[in-house]
Amino acid sequence: MLLAIDVGNTNTKFAVHDGTTWRGQWRASTDPRRTADEYAPWLSEILALSDLGFSDIHACIVSTVVPQALFNLRNLSRRYVNAEPMVIGEDGLKLGIEVRIDKPSEAGADRLVNAVGAFVEYGGPAIVIDSGTATTFDIVAADGAFEGGIILPGINLSLQALHDAAARLPRVEIRDPGRIIGKDTVSAMQSGIYWGSIDMIEGLCRRIKAEYGQPMKTIATGGVASLFEGAFPSIEHFDQDLTSRGLLEVFRRNGGTL
C-alpha cells in the first residue's frame, strides 16, 4: 500500500491507497517541529481505525509547501514504512506534465500535483480552485500542462486579518447567514466573507475563461471548499481527493507499483 502525504501551510493530509481504492484519509495540523517519533503513534492509531498498520504500507510519496517539515516526514517513511519516500520537486522525479510558466521552479508542489490529479480525472482545459491558507486558481491545458494561475489570501486568513486588525471585530464561523444585509456585526461579517468569497471566485472564473478563450472545466478542492458546495454556479466538481489522486498518479508515473 501507498502512504501519500500532502503538507500544506495549515494542515497535513495522510492518505493510504491499496492499489484499488483509498482505504483512509486523515488530517493533522502542520507543525514542522513534529518528529517522526511523534507522528508515528498518532498515525498508528488512525491506521488501526481502518484495520491497517505500518506493516501494510510499503511505499510513500510526499508533497510539501513547508520545506522544514520534510526532514521529519522523510524519517517517518524510512523508520516506520521502511521505504525511501518519493518527494515532489526533487531531481529525477517526473510529474509527466509540462510547466509552462516563466519560472517553472517557482510552481508550488501542491499546485502541480493538483494539476496532475485534475487532468487524470477530468481532462483539460480546466481551472483548479484550491481553498486553503491561500486560495489558488490553477490552469490545466488540454494536454495536461500547468499554465499558471492566480494566488490570493485564503478565507480563514482573511477572517483572521479582520479580527487582528480591527479591535471590535470578533472571530466568526464561515457560513451562509441567510441574507445579504447583516443586521449585526457577526451576520455582517459572515455575509461579507461567504458571499464575497463566492462572488470573487465566480468573477475570477469568468475572467479566466474569457482570457483563455476556450471552454474550461472547473474543479474545487481544499479544506474550505466543502463549506461552499452547491453555492457556485460555475464549479462543476467538488473533489476533496484531488491532491491525493495526483500523488498516486505521480507515484505510478515514476515506476511505483501497489
The pLDDT tens digits for 197-251 are 889 989 999 999 999 999 999 999 987 777 777 777 888 898 988 999 999 999 9
* Residue ranges making up the domain that contains 49: 2-87
Whether residues 241 and 118 share a domain: the answer is yes
Cis, peptide link before residue 233, omega less than 30° from 0: no
Whether residues 124 and 185 share a domain: the answer is yes
Residue 176 placed within a domain: yes
Q: At what angle do helices 242-253 and 109-122 cross, to 10 degrees?
A: 90
Whether residues 54 and 111 share a domain: the answer is no
Which CATH number fits the domain that encloses residue 160? 3.30.420.40
Residue 92 placed within a domain: no
Q: Which of 6, 110, 130, 239 is catalytic?
A: 110
Last residue in a domain, options 54, 87, 120: 87
Q: Three-state DSSP class for 232?
A: coil
Q: How many domains does the chain have?
A: 2
Residue 79 placed within a domain: yes
Last residue in a domain, options 61, 87, 113: 87
Residue 93 placed within a domain: no
Alpha helices in 49-101 (DSSP H): 67-76
Residue 257 placed within a domain: no
Please tell me the predicted confidence (pLDDT) of residue 177.
87
**Is the CA virtual torsion 246, 252, 256, 258 positive or negative?**
positive
Is 138 catalytic? The answer is no
pTM, to two decimals: 0.88
Residue 42 placed within a domain: yes
Express each pLDDT in 159-170 by its tens digit.
888 888 887 888
Whether residues 134 and 169 share a domain: the answer is yes
